[in-house]
Amino acid sequence: MNLSSADTAPNLAPVITIDGPTASGKGTIAQRVADHLGWHALDSGALYRLTALAVQRSGANLDDESQAAALARQLDVRFESGAVLFQAEDVTHAIRQESIGNLASQVAAWPTVRAALLARQRDFRLAPGLVADGRDMGTVVFPDAPLKIFLDAAVDVRAQRRYKQLNDKGISANLDDLLSDLRDRDARDRGRVHAPLVAAHDAVTIDSSHLGVDQVVQQVLALWSARGPA
Ligand code: DC
């Protein structure tokens, strides 16, 4: 693997990026890898979901990009031991709703919203290291990350996983609707002009369709160890 500028810049903490489509398991894997290494974790999707929540609550027109970008710039958010606080209110569960995920995917297509969230994401790069998950972590936000993962899984497997997750939480869901929502979001996230979901040229792709969480975590950790000391 080629050494990137991050390897030689002593003041920059290392970053492992994990990008991939909706419900590929990125969030779970990123948190587990971060816990194992004792590093920080960034769930960048939460920032887009929070922006969507702010737009929804403000009553702004859902087509108003400049209003959404203003809300993204002012986002009053804190991440505290697994909870997401928005204006001091615990919105950890509220931002996980499918409707907010869909709205997040819409606001995330706007370049001024993405620009508004860029510096905030980079601020998470703190010692001893960061595991960041999203869509453009390896391509745009941390292009110099020394290890980039693209975590994929077949769309029907992802729909099944999401269905089970919702059922486990006692939330009723329809598998066909979930499948169709995932397809729409995949198409929007992959097809947008700004920072589309795509594997970075130097990313390692892991297809988790037939792998459990532990197996994927082990693969990522093995890739990190195989890099050797920075
Ligand atoms: O990862 P997630 O499902 O929580 O993300 C919600 C939406 O936010 C996703 O459909 C696209 C957008 N997103 C993005 O555009 N870029 C990121 N780095 C993370 C999420």
By alpha-carbon position, which residue is closest to atom 15 of ligand 1?
A: 108
CA 109 vs CA 42, 63, 189, 193: distances in Å: 20, 11, 7, 8
- At 8, the pLDDT band (50, 70, 90 cuts) reads very low
Distance CA 14, CA 9 (A): 9
Q: How remote is the CA of residue 229 from the centroid of ligand 1, in Å?
A: 31
Distance CA 27, CA 25 (A): 6
Using a pLDDT cut of 90, give the percent of the chain over it.
Answer: 79
pTM for this entry: 0.91
| CB of residue 181 inside a 6 A radius of ligand 1 | no
Where do the H-state alpha helices sit in the chain?
Answer: 5-8, 26-37, 44-58, 65-74, 98-107, 111-122, 155-168, 175-191, 213-226
Distance CA 181, CA 159 (A): 9
pLDDT confidence of residue 230: 58
* Predicted confidence (pLDDT) per residue in 111-157, tens digit: 999 999 999 999 999 999 999 999 999 999 999 999 999 999 999 99
Does residue 9 carry a pLDDT above 60? no
Burial pattern 148-184, b for ≥16 Cβ within 10 A else e, equals bbbbbbebebbbbbbbeebeeeeeebeeeebbebbee
pLDDT confidence of residue 97: 87
Pocket test for ligand 1, best of 29, 44, 48 (most atoms within 8 A of CB): 48
Point out the ligand 1 atom lying closest to the alpha carbon of residue 48: 8
pLDDT confidence of residue 10: 53
Architecture of domain 14-220: 3-Layer(aba) Sandwich (3.40)
By alpha-carbon position, which residue is closest to atom 2 of ligand 1?
A: 45
* Predicted confidence (pLDDT) per residue in 174-193, tens digit: 999 999 999 998 999 999 88
- Which residue in this structure is represented by tokens 């108003």? 64
| CB of residue 139 inside a 6 A radius of ligand 1 | no
| CB of residue 24 inside a 6 A radius of ligand 1 | no
- At 229, the pLDDT band (50, 70, 90 cuts) reads low
Between residues 23 and 169, which one has the greater pLDDT?
23
Per DSSP, the chain holds a count of helices (H) and strands (E) of 9, 8
